[in-house]
Amino acid sequence: MPANKLISMSRRALTLLLAGFLVLALGVVGAFRPVPYVVLSPGPTENTLGEVDKKPVISINGRETYPTSGSLDLVTVAYQGGPAAPIDLLTALRGWIDPTVAVVPQETIFAPNRDPKEVEEENTVEMTNSQDSATAAALTELKIPYTTVVRVLSTEKGKPADGKLLKDDEISAVDGKPAADVDVVSEAVKAHKPGESVLFTVTRGTEKVDVSVPTVADSKGHPMVGVVMQARYKFPFDVKINVGDVGGPSAGLMFSLGIIDKLTPGEMTGGKQIAGTGTIQPSGEVGAIGGIAQKMVGARDSGATVFLTPADNCAEAMESVPDGLRLVRANTLHDAVTALDALRTGKGNVPACQAG
């Protein structure tokens, strides 16, 4: 073979080799580049009837309590990624392959231009609110009376309420009518036209004062004063909930059930390991949550055989329910209590999730 052909083939082989190496190098580099996704995976479970860091998850003082058995597990979702610690493409690809995890766009967890620390603080506030709502729902179910207080959390800078309503003011009335809850206050403000004033009666420290606040139009032309409120409750005895680093509102249903189990004779679980999820309203309404697939896997991995499921999550849950986990539909706290009673005694109806 002529020498010039050999040289030509050698150059071609070298070019292909270099091109292949370059593609491989770019692929390796690309695999470790950050991507705007978050990986959601099954998180740990906590028994609301048990302990965290050697302290009861639920402790009740000032009211008689009763022994419990079994477990009422709250479930969590762990995540990797986010603005502060983005994942790489390889991690995302592994997540897409694993059926027990979900890979979602970063903005579904972390709103754009939001400080991750802000999001964590918001989750902590949501958890606190969830614990209060859970106690209120449990006492509502048990017909134990309590009172509701609407408290000022903060005001928006530059808005009419700024400097007039103060943090921790308790709003007892609006325009002379009792402020039963946050929605009542909001509706009272909306009943005005922009430019009109709203009369708030508040308890500030030990003093009760009337505060007149003018309204302005928001971006949609609706009246607003720029106040952030929170419903707080005054219970006839002390209920404390300790869950360590767990955040968010989705454990509300399980907190309520744990409180009811401790406040009533007999054992709600019948000794079984029961898990579940769902937000809770003081009225007892159970709300939908995110990450249902990962929460079911976490529940089953921890040994649960029954999973209390918000009604609005049932269709999604049916698509990926793990083997050996029985889904029980919960529209309300009362439904959940009744279903657990039927499971324990073998009498009565146990509402099941059905495919959508």
**How many Å apart are CA 234 and CA 254, to the nearest integer?**
21
* Pairing mode, strands 306-310 and 273-276: parallel
Contact 77, 336 (CB under 8 A): no
Q: Which residues pair with 315 in a beta bridge?
A: none
Q: Is 295 a catalytic residue?
A: yes
333-345 helix and 252-263 helix, angle to the nearest 10 degrees: 60
Give the angle subtended at the CA of 292 by the CAs of 287 and 298, to the nearest 5°.
125
Token digits of residue 47: 């028994």
Check 130, 250, 256, 272 and give the catalytic one: 250
Tell me the backbone φ, ψ of residue 7, rounded to 5 degrees: -65, -40
Contact 78, 40 (CB under 8 A): yes
Environment class of residue 78 by beta-carbon count within 10 Å: exposed (0-12), middle (13-18) or buried (19+)?
A: middle
**How many Å apart are CA 312 and CA 162, to the nearest integer?**
38
Look up tokens 């969590």; give the residue: 76
Catalytic site residues? 250, 295
